[in-house]
Amino acid sequence: MKDLQKKNDADLVTFVSEKREALRALRFSASGSGMRDAHAMRNLRKEIARGLTELNRRAKVTADA
């Protein structure tokens, strides 16, 4: 989380979009064969949520100011 707080807004948007693309690719690859890393999807979803949480926190701070 500390790492995400250091990034600017554009980097966070890029981070979230890259993680979403990785999750999509993992879902399609997992449907055709057995999962090698069972926790990879969960970890990607958590990273996406952390990035979105930081973006929403920043948006709320600027809206309140």
> Which structural domain range is residue 42 located in?
2-64
Q: What is the pLDDT of residue 27?
A: 86
Distance, in Å, from the CA atom of 45 to the CA atom of 8, rounded to the nearest integer, reads: 21
- Helix, strand, coil percentages in the chain from 3-state DSSP, rounded to 5: 85, 0, 15
CATH number of 26's domain: 1.10.287
Residues 6+ positions from 20 with CB-CB distance below 8 Å: 48
pLDDT digits (tens, 9 = 90+) for 5-32: 999 999 999 999 999 999 999 888 866 6
pLDDT digits (tens, 9 = 90+) for 34-53: 666 778 899 999 999 999 99
Predicted TM-score of the model (pTM): 0.84
Q: What is the pLDDT of residue 46?
A: 96
Q: What is the pLDDT of residue 64?
A: 86
Number of separate domains in the chain:
1
